Amino acid sequence: MKHDDIIAPFSLDNAPVRGRIARLAEGALDPILHRHDYPRPVALLLGEALALAALIGSLLKTDGRLVIQAQGEGPVPLLVAEHLDGGVRGYARLAEGAAEQLAGAHRMPPAELLGAGSLILTLDLGEHTTPFQGVVTLEGATLAECAENYFRVSEQTDTGIRLAVGEIVNGENPSQWRAGGILMQRLASDQARGETEEDWRRASILFNTLTDEELIDPALPADRVLYRLFHEEGVRMGDIVQLDDRCTCSEERLTKVMKTFPKGEIADLIEPDGKLHARCQFCAREYMIDPANVGAA
C-alpha cells in the first residue's frame, strides 16, 4: 500500500466519529512548494492549505472543485489551494517587498501573514451552476483553528482538524516538503446512537494527543497514525485515494478568459514576437497565444 500522497476515510466503532487523513509529499506537495521558492512561513501555510483542501474536498458527496482562499491586506494578500478528484494545486501572492520582510521568519499565524481578512471555501460544480461559498474571518492561531471555526459557524458541525508541514532532510539529498492532515467530525445524535456528547469528548481528548511529527513522519504510515490515536475506539481506515500535483490550466481556458478582455487592453499585452505571453500562477507553465484567437488581430 502506498503511504504518501494519499487521502483515506476513517471511522470509529465505539464513538460517533468519521473523518479523513491525508499525507502529501513527493508527488503532491514538494513540487508545488519548490516550484515557487516561497519564504518559509508562506510555504508552511500553503502546505497546510493544500492538505486542508484535500481533507475537505474528499468529504464532498458530489464531483466538484473545492477551493480554499484566504485573503487580507498583509504580506501575503492572497493564498489559494484547490482539490479536484485527487489533484491539488495552489499558489500564494506576495505583496511588494514581502520576500525581504519574511526572510528568516518561521511559522506565523494566518492573520499576521495574510492580514485581517477572511477564509473562503468555494465548491464549484462546473459551468452552468452557481458555486456554493462559505466565509469566515481569519480568527485562530493556526489555519486548522480557522477551518474549525468555519465548520462551527457555517456548517454547525463539531469538527477537529490538525495540519502539519515540514521539511525532511536526508543526508546530501535535497530536502523534501511533507504535509499531513487529519479531520474528524462528530456524527449527530439519533435514536440509534443516543446522545453523542460524551463519546465525542473522549475522542477529542485522544485526537489532541497527536503531534506534528507523527503527521509528517515518513516512517509512520497513515493507518499507524490512526491506530496510535484511536485503537481503543476500534478505528477503521477505508480505501485510499491517490493525490498528485495537478494543474487544470490550458491554452483553451486562457484563450476563453482573454476573449473577455477589452481589445485595447489585449493589444497592449502583445509582445514583440507578436504573441500574447501568459503564465499560469499555479504551475508556472507559459503559453504563447495568437492574438487572432482572442479577437485582437
Rounded mean pLDDT of 253-275? 82
Rounded mean pLDDT of 53-68? 89
3-state SS class at 217 = coil
Say yes or no to pLDDT of 1 above 70.
no
What single letter denotes the amino acid at residue 46? Answer: L
pLDDT of residue 191: 55
Rounded mean pLDDT of 195-220? 92
Least confident of 16-20, 134-138, 292-296: 292-296
Highest-scoring range by mean pLDDT, 102-111, 239-248, 284-293: 239-248
Rounded mean pLDDT of 246-252? 89
Say yes or no to pLDDT of 296 above 70.
no
What is the distance between the alpha carbons of residues 146 and 160, in angstroms, rounded to a whole number?
A: 11
Report the chain's mean pLDDT, rounded to a whole number: 89
Segment 253-261 long-range contacts (CB within 8 Å, at least 24 positions apart): 254/278, 254/280, 254/287, 254/289, 255/289, 255/293, 255/294, 258/289, 258/294, 259/294, 259/295, 261/294
Least confident of 137-151, 213-227, 234-248: 137-151
Burial class (CB in 10 A: 0-12, 13-18, 19+), 221: middle
What is the distance between the alpha carbons of residues 114 and 191, in angstroms, rounded to a whole number?
A: 44
pLDDT of residue 297: 61
How is 61-77 classified by DSSP, letter by letter?
Answer: SS--EEEEEEE-SSSS-
Say yes or no to pLDDT of 51 above 80.
yes
Say yes or no to pLDDT of 259 above 90.
no
Rounded mean pLDDT of 79-102? 94
Rounded mean pLDDT of 254-271? 81
Confidence of residue 206 (pLDDT cuts 50, 70, 90): very high
pLDDT of residue 277: 84
Domains of the chain in start order, with CATH, are: 6-245 (3.55.30.10), 251-294 (3.90.1280.10)
Least confident of 49-53, 129-133, 158-162, 276-280: 129-133
Rounded mean pLDDT of 192-197? 69
